[in-house]
């Protein structure tokens, strides 16, 4: 099936389930960073919905940064070669950075991001991913905060796309 023919099917996680989980993650992050301030680094495009909800569930002083990345390869298979399409607006040296990703699939994109961001002298870097497809791991990356584990299916909605479509679906669905 080509991504252009993709159609969203079964609901994996409803908008309500996602909302609950995001609030839990927000509370956990708020506890862990108590007394500090955060740079919430949203990786575009896939994490824009998640980052918007997560940021509002975190009760800490924070600023938001966006990093646009595009991974070469077709729509459903990451190549691990990542191109930065939009860079941070300000340096992050000395700051606590929380990378917000939509999904860790092979782990190749996140490995690149952790290296990239780590090389800019932040005080700390942690990773928060909405989804993890453990069955597809090529490079294991430490996920500090995880929304949900998913089986080896292609997921759309809540920011995630198939050929740039379906990012606006309020729930997470399996593509059929």
Catalog residues that contact ligand IMP under the rule CB under 6 A. 46, 71, 78, 101-110, 154-156, 160
Min dist CB 172 to ligand IMP, Å, is 9
Q: Could you confirm whether 105 is annotated as catalytic?
A: yes
State the number of CA atoms in the 13 A half-sphere of 164 facing the CB: 1
Nearer to Mg ion, 12 or 99 (CB): 99
Q: Is the dihedral of CA 69, 47, 116, 139 positive or negative?
A: negative
Min dist CB 115 to Mg ion, Å, is 16
Judged by DSSP in three states, 174 sits in: strand
Min dist CB 105 to ligand IMP, Å, is 3
Name the binder of 160 from Mg ion, ligand IMP, none, CB < 5-8 A by kind.
ligand IMP
**Rounded distance between C-alpha atoms, residue 80 and residue 138, angstroms:** 10
How does strand 96-104 pair with strand 124-132? Answer: parallel
126, two tokens? 């942690």
Q: Is 46 in the site for Mg ion (CB under 5 A)?
A: yes
Q: Is 55 in the site for Mg ion (CB under 5 A)?
A: no
Nearer to ligand IMP, 22 or 60 (CB): 22
- CB count, 10 Å around CB of 139? 13
Interface positions, 63-92, toward Mg ion (CB under 5 A): none
Out of 53, 96, 102, 105, the active site residue is: 105
Min dist CB 110 to ligand IMP, Å, is 6
CB-based contact 63:79 (threshold 8 Å): no
Nearer to ligand IMP, 46 or 147 (CB): 46
**Rounded distance between C-alpha atoms, residue 26 and residue 59, angstroms:** 8
Phi, psi of 162 (to 5 degrees): -125, 115
Active site residues: 105
Binding site for Mg ion (CB under 5 A): 46, 102
């Amino acid at each position: 099936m080509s991504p252009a023919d993709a159609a969203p099917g079964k609901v994996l996680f409803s908008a309500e389930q996602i909302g609950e989980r995001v609030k839990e993650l927000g509370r956990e992050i708020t506890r862990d960073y108590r007394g500090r301030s955060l740079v919430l680094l949203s990786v575009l495009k896939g994490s824009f919905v998640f980052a918007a909800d997560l940021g509002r569930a975190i009760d800490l002083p924070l600023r938001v940064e966006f990093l646009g990345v595009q991974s070469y390869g077709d729509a459903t298979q990451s190549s691990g070669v990542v191109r930065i399409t939009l860079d941070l607006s300000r340096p992050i040296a000395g700051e606590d950075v929380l990378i917000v990703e939509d999904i860790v699939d092979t782990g190749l994109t996140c490995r690149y991001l952790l290296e990239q961001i780590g090389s800019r002298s932040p005080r700390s870097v942690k990773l928060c991913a909405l989804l993890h497809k453990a069955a597809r791991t090529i490079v294991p990356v430490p996920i500090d905060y995880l929304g949900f584990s998913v089986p080896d299916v292609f997921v759309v909605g809540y920011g995630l796309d198939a050929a740039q479509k379906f990012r606006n679906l309020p729930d997470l669905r399996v593509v059929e």
